[in-house]
Amino acid sequence: MTNSTILDELLWRELIAQSTDLGALQAAADAGPMTLYCGFDPTAPSLHLGNLAQILTVRRFQQAGHRPLALVGGATGLIGDPKMTGERQLNPREIVEDWVRRIRGQLESFYDFSGTHAAVMVNNYDWTEGVSVLEFLRDIGKHFSVNRMLDREAVAARLAKEGISYTEFSYQLLQSFDYLQLFRQFGCTLQTGGSDQWGNITAGVDLIRRVESASVHALTTPLLTKSDGTKFGKTESGTIWLDPGLTSPYAFFQFWLNADDSDVPTLLRTFSFSARPRIEELFSATVERPHERAAQRALAQELTALVHGEAEQRAAESAGFALFGQGDLAALSADALTAALLEAPNGVVDPGEIVDGVLPAVEDLLVRCGLASSRGQARRTVSEGGASLNNERVPNEGHSPMVGDLLHGEWLVLRRGKRTVGGIRVEK
């Protein structure tokens, strides 16, 4: 990709929701490498899939020859961007500092910090810490209209309910101050973000115009929602995080693999770095052969490798195959097997229940891990040949596994039918 095609690429991918002036932005991109930034506040110990959409948009700019500034909000993270739902809890400084460190480490894996267009890691605490209240109010605050700030959707929603603190109300000034400082220090002329950040981003554009008499750019991407209108990146078990300690690589892989067919076009355009012909090929496969889930698997492979590395991607995929009878359970590492089964319904066996190396009967284990609602249902499943233990059909009612059947001395894999998997863990 060249400088002159980055906006065409984003337009085709439907990744531009708002822009100050696309024509002017295109001209700036044609004129040579631009410096751009997107900010990430440490409001949690990890970034999530919504953040990933922004990270990868900036990554596309870098691959097109532009220079990204990866901003972690050590200052703004102490304040909190106003939410529609209510006031944020202010986290202690030491927690925010730890989250800054964690998020910085995550961002470092997505950008190239060497070469002609090397990314630069920045923290807005560095230029905010030494500014006095009087200095900030005189030099920055005087350029903001309260009337205009009240028009922001999140602020208006809060005022219509319980109100908003001056702390969160002032967040827009801090984000605008970031853009001004990055313009001054690095020549940054483009800020990107989600469409919910449009008011904050354009406030920064206006501040630079007022203070520096300079014209800079703003670009936002659409907020990601599923075809049913729910928020993308949320599941019944919670948020999909980029930190493997919060969302395992197996769960991350399965999230993409289980994506609804109707969401595939948006997900491919937003997250995949495959070329347009390949993406269109996957579009067609989803329509013509939906049972193959080719697009979902391609997404799962690409994104899991990008976020967690190729080794974890292979382990996660192998675990999925093995759990559903298409691979060798014994070949899975203890960590891969544990991560996979903790995402499935699971139950435990106390060592005291093991008599002469014999565990409780399969019917009891099916109930314990939630694959059957009662022992009667479990017996019917076994008698009809629908129960499997470690990918082997359970031969008869009353069958009890042995200690030697435990995988890594700890787990049994149960399956009801072809697609419903559960785990039994022997407590240590």
DSSP per-residue letters across 8-49: HHHHHTT--SEES-HHHHHHHHHHS--EEEEEE--SSSS-BH
Q: Could you tell me the pLDDT band of residue 3, with boundaries at 50, 70 and 90?
A: very low
Q: Could you tell me the pLDDT band of residue 162, with boundaries at 50, 70 and 90?
A: confident
Q: Could you tell me the pLDDT band of residue 2, with boundaries at 50, 70 and 90?
A: very low
Strands 217-221 and 120-123 come out as unpaired
Please write the tens of the pLDDT for every residue from 292-333: 999 999 999 999 999 999 999 999 999 999 998 888 999 999
The domains located in the chain, with CATH, are 3-223 (3.40.50.620), 225-342 (1.10.240.10), 344-428 (3.10.290.10)
Element (H, E) at 348: strand 346-349
Q: What is the DSSP string of 182-230?
A: HHHHH---EEEEEGGGHHHHHHHHHHHHHHH----EEEEEPPPB-TTSP
Q: What is the mean pLDDT of the chain?
A: 93
4 pLDDT more than 50? no
**311 vs 150, higher pLDDT:** 311
89 pLDDT more than 90? no
Q: Could you tell me the pLDDT band of residue 235, with boundaries at 50, 70 and 90?
A: low
pLDDT at 311: 95
